[in-house]
Structure 1
Amino acid sequence: MTTTPTVVLVHGAFADSSSWNGVIDTLAAEGIPVLAAANPLRGLTSDADYIASVVDSVDGPVVLAGHSYGGSVISVAAQGKSQVTALVYVAAFIPEIGESALELTGKFPGSTLGPTTRPATYRRADGSEATELYIRREEFPQQFAADVPTAATMAVTQRPVAVAALEEPAAAAAWRTIPAFALLTTADKNIPVEAQRFMAERAGADTTEVDASHAVSVSRPDAVADLILRAVRHNL
């Protein structure tokens, strides 16, 4: 009997693991083991290394799901991981080797994220300074989560992303060897749906579209969970 994979959920920029709560409830009700990882959002390579260590801590097969920038992270983290049976991209970047999240955002018109962000300086462990981005609280609901009643609270609890993480090119594209699934969001103001379609088609992903904001894991956890369940079951 094939072991049911554990689903490892990876949030993206301006969100945290609680953004998966509705998805977690649905998966748990279906008897699917699930783990929501805390994405550091500091640099693509270091973030992917951390998520890879989370994958290694799980006994048995794993389905990796990433939202937004989390898609870039899982594309790198899953490289060489034979236990990863599927990659699920939720309103997410699906980069080719050498592509960055920032580059893919601008590949097609439509993103209004840039003007809604504000920079802040933080200090790295080595003492050097770096820049991270927040979405301005007053603009967060319409930009990120227009269909979420709790968007104002999400604006307060958002986690900033290092600019370096968005600029860093992907060193791997695990979707080339691992089956990919993609949920595309047609009302997305962060990653234009045309960019999402381009990436999903290039990856040969099993694709579903939904009329939702970028915060689809919060506004439409049913649609996200349905796609993840399809990925879980595709090789059972």
Structure 2
Amino acid sequence: MHGAFADAGSWSGVIAELQNQGIPVLAPPNPLRGLASDAAYIASVAAQIDGPVVLVGHSYGGALITVAGTTENVVGLVYVAAYVPEQGESLGELQGRFPLAPLGANLKQWTYPVEGGEPAVEVTIEAAAFPEIFAADVPAPVTKVLAVAQRPLAAAAFTEQAAAAAWRTKPSWALVAGADEAINPDVQRFGAERAGAKVVELAGASHAVAVSQPKAVADLIHDAVRATTED
């Protein structure tokens, strides 16, 4: 599942690789409105799938699969350049353990209406900074499109605490993007190691590793599927 500043289309290359390997895929939209509500949505999607599910989350999507992964038919978790929070921990707290990546200084604030309340704040990456921060290893013509097609994340998502940590009871895998300028790679490493995940690191990969290196991402997902669903 996609994270902030992207949509399910960012998984197109990975999806094609998995489909070519005969692995069924569903890439639901991530509402990006808050950790609890987004995770509840993803959990509901997973629960309606007939059979075992391996949840895959990129970036903020990693926090969602951490919570939604407690759904009974979820058998594995795959984190891709992602946050891996502990129960009771917010993304802000997890990030605060390490130096901040350049992303934080290049966010643009917007507002959106909330029924019965004051407008809420959401954020995107400044378009001029998007290529370097989000997708430095993606061709420039592609990043120009991605920069103006961002899906904003509700700012409150950074302060919500994870209600559960499914990695405590479900096996997990993690891909660390070694040249990530959106989430400090040390944040990714720390969360993955704490979760006991099987870790693959791509030294020159940007945050948009699913776009730039879809086969590597698909191979890790394939490993997780094979380990959790095949006899």
RMSD after superposition = 1.0
The within-5 A match list for 1:183-198 is 183-198=175-190
Partner of 1:20: 11
| TM alignment of 1:87-106, pairs within 5 A | 87-106=77-96
* Counterpart residue number, 1:219: 212
Normalised to the residue count of structure 1, the TM-score between the two structures is: 0.93
Q: Does 1:33 align with 2:33?
A: no
- Superposed, 1:112-191 pairs within 5 Å as 112-149=102-139, 150-191=142-183
Partner amino acid for 1:221? Answer: P
Larger strand fraction of residues:
1
Asked if 1 retains the 8 angstrom alpha-carbon contact of 2:19 and 2:25, the reply is yes
The amino acid of 1:184's aligned partner reads: V
User: Equivalent residue for 1:75?
Assistant: 66
Per-residue deviation, 1:103: 2.2
Identity among equivalent positions (%) equals 58
Q: What does residue 3 of structure 1 align with?
A: none
How many residue pairs end up in the alignment? 226
Structure 2: gaps spanning 5 or more residues? none
Q: Kindly indicate whether the alpha-carbon contact (under 8 Å) linking 2:47 and 2:72 is maintained by their aligned counterparts in 1.
A: no
Q: Distance in 2 between matches of 1:110 and 1:187?
A: 14
Q: State how far apart, in whole Å, the 1-side matches of 2:44 and 2:100 are.
A: 35
Q: What is the TM-score with the length of structure 2 in the denominator?
A: 0.95
Q: Which range moved further: 110-119 or 217-226? A: 110-119
Contact 1:52/1:78 (8 A) holds in 2: yes
Matches of 1:27 and 1:64 in 2, distance apart? Answer: 14
Question: What is the CA–CA distance in structure 2 between the aligned matches of 1:126 and 1:220, rounded to whole Å?
Answer: 44
Mapped to 2, the partners of 1:110 and 1:130 lie a distance apart of: 24
- Which residue is equivalent to 1:4? none
Give the whole-Å Cα distance in 1 for the aligned partners of 2:115 and 2:75: 35
2:33 aligns to what SS in structure 1?
Answer: coil
User: How far has the Cα of 1:105 moved from its partner?
Assistant: 2.2
Q: Is this contact kept in 1: 2:102–2:133, CA < 8 A?
A: yes
Question: How do residues 39-54 of structure 1 correspond to structure 2 at under 5 angstroms?
Answer: 39-54=30-45
User: Offset at 1:189?
Assistant: 0.7
Question: Do 2:2 and 2:8's aligned partners in 1 also have CA atoms closer than 8 Å?
Answer: yes
Are 1:100 and 1:167, in contact at CA under 8 Å, matched by a contact in 2?
Answer: yes
- Residues 117 and 136 in structure 1, CA contact (< 8 A), matched pair in contact too: yes
